[in-house]
Amino acid sequence: MSPLKAISRWLALVVLAFIALQLFFVLRIALMVVVDPESTTFQRSQIWQQMTTDGSLHWRQEWVAYPQISDHLKRAVVASEDDGFVNHDGVDWNAIEKNWDRNNKLQEQAEQRLENNPKAKQRPVRIRGGSTITQQLAKNLLLSGERSMLRKGQELVLAMLLEQFLSKERILEIYLNNVEWGEGVFGAQAAAQRYYRKNATQLSSAEAARLAVMLPAPRRFEKQPQSAYLNGRTRVILGRMSRTELP
């Protein structure tokens, strides 16, 4: 076989594998219209990490239907994580553009500081991605935690597929039942019981806002319940909740 034929065959196999993967994702997402996902890729990776680290298994999760989750929590999470949730098609392009400009500006400032004072200790630039709730769900459900442009592109495709197959209500329901709220704590019901010893439907507005603010770093905030940032951000989200639209 000539080298050209071998390369062509290899490329054809790569394309077929890519198409097969996309079809697999489409079928998985279509199934979620009627079937609740038992676990996510993120959850399984966290469980594996626990098992390989200390041999233990800590996993609290209980699925509850959309009406059994407090509207306060729904509003708080949307207000905190994705205030344009009901209006976008899975990707908030304006937020991506805004954060791209912000990240570039901060990177330039960091490089300028380093140039002016090479010996000074430089703090890493905090990158914002502008991910929507739908994108976060796509990533946690089906993708690995690696950071790359290829994975980000796949995340955008999956987010738009989720929006095509599932209603906004269903997307938010799956998200709230699977998102991490502490080490081994997944979903609204487990979080409500872990932090407030009550069911998800009984959460007050203040409790819901506090849980929503934990989401970017739940493992850190569960160990720092009196964090000044947590308290301040909770007040901000409480103020936004009454204006937040739900699906």
pTM of the complete model = 0.84
* Residue 77: predicted pLDDT: 97
Tell me the pLDDT tens digit for each residue of 205-222. Answer: 999 999 999 998 898 998
Query: Which region among 18-27, 73-82, 167-176, 201-210 has the lowest average model confidence (pLDDT)?
Result: 18-27
Q: Which domains does the chain have, with CATH numbers?
A: 49-87+167-247 (1.10.3810.10)
pLDDT tier at 91 (50, 70, 90 boundaries)? confident
Tell me the pLDDT tens digit for each residue of 92-139. Answer: 777 666 755 555 565 555 556 656 666 556 555 444 456 899 999 999
Q: Tell me the pLDDT of the chain averaged across its residues.
A: 84
Indicate if the pLDDT at residue 90 is higher than 70. Answer: yes
Indicate if the pLDDT at residue 180 is higher than 90. Answer: yes
pLDDT tier at 148 (50, 70, 90 boundaries)? confident
> Which residues touch 188 (CB under 8 Å, ≥6 apart)?
64, 69, 70, 73, 176, 177, 181, 200, 211
